[in-house]
Structure 1
Amino acid sequence: MGYERAKEQPLTFVLVHGSFADVRFWNGVAGMLRKMGHKVFVPEYPGHGSDPNTNVTHGMISRAVADFILARQLRDIILVGHSFGGSVVQKTAELVPDRIKRLVFMNGFVIGEGQSVVDQFPPQVQQLFEQLRQLSPDDTIMLPFPVFRDAFVNLADLQLARQLYSEVRPEPAKPSFEKLDLKAFYKLNIPRSYLYLTDDNLLPQGEGYGWHPHMSGRLGLFRLIRSDGDHMTYFRTQPALLAQKLVEASRD
């Protein structure tokens, strides 16, 4: 029934990946969405994929996504942000609000005015990120495997966790530490959804942290869709499930 409904209302998705990833992160989900009859676009942004430059800013990243949308003359888009990509979606929405039909945060960071992505973590995790940043020769953060295994892919078996970790590259640190001016975002009236993957162990839930309801609540009026899944595993192992949940989050 879900597939029939999807064919009745073709959507145009722009999928924005998060940290420690590149456009390949979306391959499975994007393929499933296309099979369901939707158009899917996956922009790469500075400091990721084939771009070796690690001296990038958050503004460069959000501008690159906005330019991708404008260059392809995309309209009525569903702009989806996963993880760090949530903060990119916030800033991109400020740049091209007239192109967007709905925003979807898929365990995406919803940053408060004047905050950074790193501010969303407990102090001990912030300290870890700062230490990793200082240890790098090029102002990047590389996750130790135990952190990746238990926080990012806690539903994966060890073999899959190692495979996924082998695809991780160091993440440019600067964009996650930048304090973001989001006054314009919080004045926008674009419809928004929060797709909450309930087994995600990247953030503590409660006590002033977490995806939902802590960050999702900053969206004001929003649609809530829940799904099984941790931070990264189901994008590889259950792409059909996540594609269907994205449609539920995005349809009229």
Structure 2
Amino acid sequence: MSTYVLVHGAWHSGVEFESVAALLRADGHLVFTPTMKGNRPGDPKTTGLEDAIHSIVDFISENELDDVILVGHSYGGIVITGVADRMASRLRRLVYLSAFVANNGESLSDLVPPHYPDLLTSLGDGSVVLPFRIWREAYINDADLETAHRAYASLNPHPLNSFTDKLMVRTNPAMMTLPKSFINCTEDTALPHSFPLHPRLSEKLGLFRLVQTPGSHELCFSNPSRLAQAIVEAGRD
């Protein structure tokens, strides 16, 4: 069996991955769902990308984890690239789940359409939130309205700095020797299909395994069992 660390995306915490983790654990896998710095209760909303990366590095080190399949969802894709640059020897594979793939010197803000930051609502404390109408139509379009509301209520304000900070790595993803996978959720419209995560960003991984599955950007809420299956397919040797 395998060891998985599931790294959440923006506005999320590790709690939202627990339904998926439970299914993986039921199959005998060891699964962890840490919450990154910046999304924990009481964290300052001025937290930056390096803080988020180091919080996952510290989690893996403190729990003495090795041979880890590191899964990053959405914004978490940039984080796992940073983690891999700092501790590749403890990792077995990187899995990008509907995720951003950045090279050295790129930020998440560099990888989205220019008008996207204007869609977010600033709370004045360094954090931003996603309006429900965008969440409903673009992020969780495969769920019923009740599920969309319940999922939205679990989200938390996200530090804007982590979107604008540049990723600093010695090796770009395509040149990393770690095996890599990309899970493409085919109904994901969090980014326009004319400006997609896959293949526009996934090709920056170089050699990688593609796993495609039906579903939206937020498959962890709308169909955890389908997502668990996709993660296993992406993580296998």
Q: Fold match, TM over 0.5?
A: yes
CA deviations on 1:155-193 (whole Å, 9 max, x unpaired) are 122222111111122111101111222342444210000
What letter corresponds to residue 198 of structure 1 in structure 2?
A: T
CA deviations on 1:42-81 (whole Å, 9 max, x unpaired) are 1112121323321211111101101110111111110000
Q: Select 1:23's aligned residue among 11, 14, 34.
A: 14
What letter corresponds to residue 158 of structure 1 in structure 2?
A: L
Instruction: Show structure 1 runs of 5+ residues with no match.
Output: 1-9
The count of residues paired between Structure 1 and Structure 2 equals 236
Say if 1:19 and 1:225 are closer, same or farther in 2 by CA, change over 3 A.
Answer: same
Instruction: Show structure 2 runs of 5+ residues with no match.
Output: none
CA contact 1:91–1:185 (8 Å) conserved in 2: no
Tell me the CA shift for residue 231 of structure 1: 1.0
CA contact 1:23–1:49 (8 Å) conserved in 2: no
Distance in 1 separating the partners of 2:104 and 2:196 = 17
The CA RMSD measured in Å over matched residues stands at 1.3
1:162 paired with 2:153, answer no
Tell me the CA shift for residue 18 of structure 1: 0.5
Q: What SS does the corresponding residue of 1:80 show, helix, strand or coil?
A: strand
TM-score (norm 2): 0.95
Alignment correspondent of 1:195 = 183
**What percentage of aligned pairs have identical amino acids?**
36
Q: What SS does the corresponding residue of 1:211 show, helix, strand or coil?
A: coil
Tell me the CA shift for residue 237 of structure 1: 3.5
Tell me the CA shift for residue 249 of structure 1: 0.6
Tell me the CA shift for residue 118 of structure 1: 1.5
Q: What SS does the corresponding residue of 2:234 show, helix, strand or coil?
A: helix
CA contact 2:107–2:167 (8 Å) conserved in 1: yes
Alignment correspondent of 1:249 = 234
1:67 paired with 2:52, answer no
Distance in 2 separating the partners of 1:51 and 1:246 = 31
How do 1:101-180 residues align onto structure 2 when only pairs under 5 Å count?
101-129=92-120, 132-133=121-122, 136-180=123-167
Question: Is 78-87 or 167-176 further displaced after alignment?
Answer: 167-176
What letter corresponds to residue 235 of structure 1 in structure 2?
A: C
Distance in 1 separating the partners of 2:154 and 2:60 = 27
How do 1:83-98 residues align onto structure 2 when only pairs under 5 Å count?
83-98=74-89
Distance in 2 separating the partners of 1:237 and 1:155 = 7
Alignment correspondent of 2:205 = 219
Distance in 2 separating the partners of 1:215 and 1:183 = 19
Tell me the CA shift for residue 91 of structure 1: 0.3
Q: Which of the pair is proportionally richer in helix?
A: 1
Alignment correspondent of 2:220 = 235
Distance in 2 separating the partners of 1:102 and 1:83 = 17
What letter corresponds to residue 154 of structure 2 in structure 1?
A: E
Ranges of 4+ aligned residues in structure 1 off by more than 4 Å: none
Q: What SS does the corresponding residue of 1:81 show, helix, strand or coil?
A: strand
